Amino acid sequence: MSFTDILLLMFGAILVENFIFAKFYGCCPFLGVSDKPDTALGMGMAVTFVMTLSGAATWAVYHFLLEPFGLEYLKTVAFILVIAALVQFIEMFLRKFIPALYASLGIYLPLITTNCAVLSAALLAIQNEYSFIAAVSFGFASALGFTLAIVVFAGVRGKMEFSEPPRAFQGFPITLIAAGLLAMAFAGFAGIKL
């Protein structure tokens, strides 16, 4: 896989195949942690951090442990285990050595343990038979797409604070409608074939 291929892969993962708007992965944090742009950015950074590392870890586990024993069918279970352990480990590591990063990412890290976006990034990298470099860049780019979506949506929700939708739409319903409209905007990228 050449450098250009990897760049195209990353571009596709950020915009065309955006995790939230095109694939509907990670909708829970997308709706739950998008109240304010700064918390949304914190969540996005934590996801980026974990997704990139878990992309590398799961690739290694799959190719060095599961494949030699012919246990490819166990990848979902094994990856959940790897990601959960990895997130716990990262949390402890950051708390000890990089307290500043822990203070900004800390509360979001445990939320990511069971985030389906992280798991699906790992599974898709295996399914598409990516090389190690491609798998890591795919995880990183997918997470960037997630960050872009959640931060943009937090901006939209900030504007909605001051509007008064009809009573039946107040709160969560109007949030879902706004998310749908934003997804339609991202659908414009769907025509781009890389």
Residues that bind other proteins (CB under 8 A): 61, 65, 69, 71, 74, 77-78, 81-82, 85, 88-89, 92-93, 95-97, 162-164
Min dist. Cβ of residue 76 to other proteins (A): 12
Euclidean distance between the first and the last CA atom of the chain, given in angstroms as a whole number: 14
How many CA atoms does the CB half-sphere of 187 hold within 13 Å? 7
Question: Could you give the CA distance from residue 139 to residue 79 in angstroms, rounded to a whole number?
Answer: 14
Question: Could you give the CA distance from residue 18 to residue 146 in angstroms, rounded to a whole number?
Answer: 7
- Positive or negative: CA dihedral 21, 26, 28, 33: negative
- Pick between residue 57 and residue 143 the one whose CB is nearest to other proteins: 57
- Pick between residue 14 and residue 46 the one whose CB is nearest to other proteins: 46
**52 CB-near residues (< 8 Å, 6+ apart):** 136, 139, 140, 143
- Pick between residue 61 and residue 143 the one whose CB is nearest to other proteins: 61
CA angle 163, 155, 105 (to 5 degrees): 130
Min dist. Cβ of residue 163 to other proteins (A): 7
Min dist. Cβ of residue 178 to other proteins (A): 17
Min dist. Cβ of residue 61 to other proteins (A): 8
Question: Could you give the CA distance from residue 175 to residue 163 in angstroms, rounded to a whole number?
Answer: 12
- Pick between residue 116 and residue 160 the one whose CB is nearest to other proteins: 160
- Pick between residue 19 and residue 102 the one whose CB is nearest to other proteins: 102
Min dist. Cβ of residue 138 to other proteins (A): 23
Min dist. Cβ of residue 35 to other proteins (A): 13
Tokens 């599974």 appear where?
Answer: 123
Of 138, 136, 89, nearest in space to 113 by CA: 89
- Pick between residue 83 and residue 148 the one whose CB is nearest to other proteins: 83
